[in-house]
């Protein structure tokens, strides 16, 4: 029997509870992360949707921003959704001058690129390796304007990437935690599992 994966969900702000529930349904042990001590013993971290500038300020205030940057440099598995993807991006095109980015994902991103709350929408998307479409919810979703050569596009909507991966980092514009389909979370857990086998903590 495989040992359980221990996954953290950043719980400073945003839709962290729904991610925690989805990960538990996938069989993971879940810990809400609010302090540096909460990161101990984890195999991966989810950064949820929310408000990216508020999340940035709370990361700095909690002392987590520099710790997470160090983990990113070490290849620690991370999964960012919506605002979480913004936090992982190399370049936030319309970010505030003091906005923190972990700069682990080689993309240029624009906040609320698909519109404000009233412009939220649902869309079935084709995901690489999935036999059937994934029903994606886009809520104040960011737009990826450009990607680096090291970034793999796993799903697009129109001509825009909406689910991308580089090494041990996964990110999407939409909210997979708000639907019953667990396949996106399982992609992340497979990344975590492969990393933890070769990098035991």
Active-site residues, by number, are 82, 175, 177
Contact (Cβ atoms closer than 8 angstroms) between residue 5 and residue 43: yes
Q: 3-state class of 161 per DSSP?
A: strand
Please state the φ and ψ torsions of residue 28, each to the nearest 5 degrees.
Answer: -85, 150
Cα dihedral sign, 126-130-135-139: negative
Provide the H-helix boundaries in 77-182: 83-88
Per-position DSSP letters for 85-97, written without gaps between them: HHHHEEEETT--T
Contact (Cβ atoms closer than 8 angstroms) between residue 77 and residue 93: no
> How many secondary structure helices (H) and strands (E) does the chain include?
5, 12
DSSP strands (E only) in the chain: 6-10, 29-33, 44-47, 78-81, 89-92, 105-110, 121-125, 134-138, 143-147, 152-157, 160-166, 169-172
């Amino acid at each position: 029997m495989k040992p359980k994966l221990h996954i953290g969900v950043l719980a400073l702000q945003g839709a962290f509870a729904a991610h925690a529930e989805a990960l538990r349904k996938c069989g993971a042990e879940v810990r809400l992360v609010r302090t540096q001590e909460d990161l101990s013993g984890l195999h991966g971290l989810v950064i949820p949707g929310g408000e990216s500038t508020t999340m940035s300020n709370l990361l700095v205030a909690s002392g987590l921003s520099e710790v997470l940057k160090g983990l990113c440099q070490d290849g620690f598995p991370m999964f960012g959704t919506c605002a979480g993807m913004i936090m992982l991006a190399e370049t936030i095109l319309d970010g505030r001058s003091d906005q923190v980015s972990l700069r682990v994902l080689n993309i240029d991103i624009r906040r609320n690129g698909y519109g404000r709350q009233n412009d939220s929408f649902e869309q079935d998307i084709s995901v690489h390796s999935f036999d059937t479409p994934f029903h994606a919810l886009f809520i104040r979703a960011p737009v990826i304007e450009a990607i680096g050569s090291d970034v793999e596009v796993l799903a697009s909507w129109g001509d825009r990437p909406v689910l991308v991966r580089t090494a041990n980092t996964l990110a999407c514009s939409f909210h997979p935690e708000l639907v019953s389909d667990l396949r996106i979370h399982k992609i992340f857990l497979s990344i975590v599992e492969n990393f933890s086998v070769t990098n035991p903590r």
